[in-house]
Chains A and B, each alone.
Chain A
Amino acid sequence: MADSTTTVGRGANRRSARSAWVAWAYLAPALLLYGGFLLFPLGRAAQYSLFDWDGLGESTFVGLDNYLEILFDERLREAFWHALVLVFFFAVLPLVIGLLLAALLTRSHVRGVGFFRSVIFLPQVIAMVVVAVTWRQIYAPDGPLNGFLRLVGLGDLARPWLGDYTFTLPAVGLIGTWVCTGLVTVLLMAGMSRVPREQYEAARLDGAGPVREFFAITLPTVRGEITVALTLTIVAALKTFDLVYVTTSGGPGTSTTVPSYEIYRRAFQLGDVGVATAVGIVLTIVVFAINAVVNVIGDRK
């Protein structure tokens, strides 16, 4: 009896050892490609960030100097500040608009919601470069936006939207709002459709108005969706590159430069690979930290 148990045990062990081997064989291609072309270079970035290197010649070890430069270089500090401003336009504004839109659409059954959903989601699938080229035309000094303002008698407001120290960053940010609102709204609509109708009926019998209904029932239900939406859009804001590259190249002056753009500029135009990779590492840490914070807050009841 004891003997046969051991045999079975050994056989099971052998089988699980074999199946583990099989599992790793299935994982191998993905692990090799993902490890070799994403994880390994990420590790290399951490290594590069400790050196001073122009991309061609000898490199010298400088410890954490590149990271200190991020703290003391005004242009880099500004870049991170701009990224935070973009978070407002990519994440906060779309969330507010999306909550309102989704709540309205869920409350009353209006026809054509499916079509509307497809339309507002559309900016998500258009290449950012195309979006940027389009909005550059819209914001042009003689473009449709200024044309419209002059038409309705607000000609005083007309300006070169992408050539103005004050208005360029918000102008670029609003493009992000245009892109992100659809995604956020669609996410929230999916969440709100889960609320059982009876809950609204009951609230209404208790005399709750639409505002109380929104804060008491709708908002708590879509907590998870809000977390997801914020995670996606904040990361999108922090990673903005193509939009800035095509619309403003960080200008006028340094008024719209962002971390991603600084990484590209330092590494490939100024030959300052060490600082560029250090900015990349800091950006990665910021992305992960914000994600963690949003998720912790989102999970708290």
Chain B
Amino acid sequence: MKVSSIERGANYVVLIVFALVVLGPIGVIITLAFGPKDASAAREGGLFHPENFPEAWEVGRFGQYMLTSLVVAAIVVVVSVLASILAGYALGTMRFRGATAVFYLFLLGIMVPTEAFIVPLYFDLRELGLTNTVWGVALPQIAMSIAFGTYWMRTYFRTSSRALIEAARLDGATSMRILWQILVPIGRPAILTLVLLVFMWTWNEFLIPLVMSPNGDVRTAPLGLAFFQGQYTQGTALLAAGAVLVALPVVALYIFLQRHFIKGMVEGAVRE
């Protein structure tokens, strides 16, 4: 469409201004992270202090917290994506009584606020001795991810080729074989998107690890950062470096695979 060059110019200005508004705060935290960590570091001079990162890693124990995050995220991703593929396969390709009801049951879970079910779950898991364990932190997140994941995988399986499934069935392939040898390989992009989203949600989750590990045994990276902010009050450079470290894994994935993130969060939001 043809628009005047003035309008085009104005559009560029708007674009640049909004991009700067978004990037500004990110620039602030990165600048702080590389700044001098205290008065003596400032006196010694130098504008660039990458040594803040290994120091935050040590002092703030971010190495340990990020390892915990990685373990929790790996468990949540593997278990919930596998369960979602199986359930989405049933809901997307098979006809049976109760299918619609089950589908709506999963849909419900996408909207239930975490804070509504996490309180009783904490006390029940405490009875079972699961609080302060990796499983106590992972299981509620597995349940939440399955609600979205089943919805997501069902959408994929519904669009997958009926003819292909029918042909394989006539060849005598079992439903397991059709799933793992035909549909899953073709569906790799959809599955990768789901893996990335679940990884991001789990890595960034705050309330569940906060509630499920009151003694701090299973402290994930975001919790470690909040805790560090409360404990370490001298100077902001190490805190900022910690913040950058916590955000880095997901942001790095986003930079390389942003299509998946945007597609997943935009298409995953579209209602039935």
Contact = CB atoms under 8 A, between A and B. Distances in A.
Interface of A: 16, 19-20, 22-24, 26-27, 29-31, 33-34, 36-39, 41-42, 44-45, 47-48, 55, 101, 104-105, 107-110, 112-113, 116-131, 133-138, 144, 178, 182-183, 186-187, 190, 197, 200-201, 224, 227-228, 231-232, 235, 238-239, 241-242, 245-246, 259-260, 263-264, 267-268, 273, 276-277, 280-281, 283-284, 287-288, 291, 295
The 8 closest A-B pairs by CB, nearest first: A30-B87, A280-B116, A44-B120, A26-B90, A37-B143, A41-B121, A127-B204, A38-B143
Given A34-B150, A235-B111, A259-B115, 11 more contacts: A29-B83, A29-B87, A41-B118, A110-B15, A127-B204, A137-B236, A137-B239, A227-B271, A241-B115, A242-B207, A245-B210
Contacts of B246: 127, 129-130
Contacts of A112: 15
B1 A239 contact: no
A232 to B, nearest CB: 6
B34 interface: no
A45 B86 contact: no
B23 interface: yes
Given A116-B15, A228-B269, A264 B115 contact: yes
B15 A127 contact: no
A144 B29 CA distance: 11
B119 A267 contact: yes
19 contacts: A23-B96, A26-B90, A33-B80, A33-B143, A39-B105, A47-B120, A48-B120, A48-B123, A110-B8, A137-B240, A178-B22, A183-B265, A232-B269, A264-B207, A268-B214, A277-B119, A280-B117, A284-B116, A287-B111
A127 B143 contact: no
A23 B94 contact: yes
A149 B142 CA distance: 46
Contacts of B244: 130
B124 interface: yes
A48 B18 contact: no
B99 A33 contact: no
A55 B120 CA distance: 10
A27 B91 contact: yes
Contact of A260 (B1, B90, B113, B147): B113
B182 to A, nearest CB: 15
Nearest to B5: A108
A22 B123 CA distance: 35
B206 A134 contact: no
Interface stretch (B46-54, B185-193, B254-262): B254-262
Contacts of A134: 25-26, 28-29, 240, 243
B3 A108 contact: yes
B251 A125 contact: yes
B42 interface: no
Nearest to A243: B206
A38 B119 contact: no
Nearest to A262: B115
A81 B206 CA distance: 23
A22 B175 contact: yes
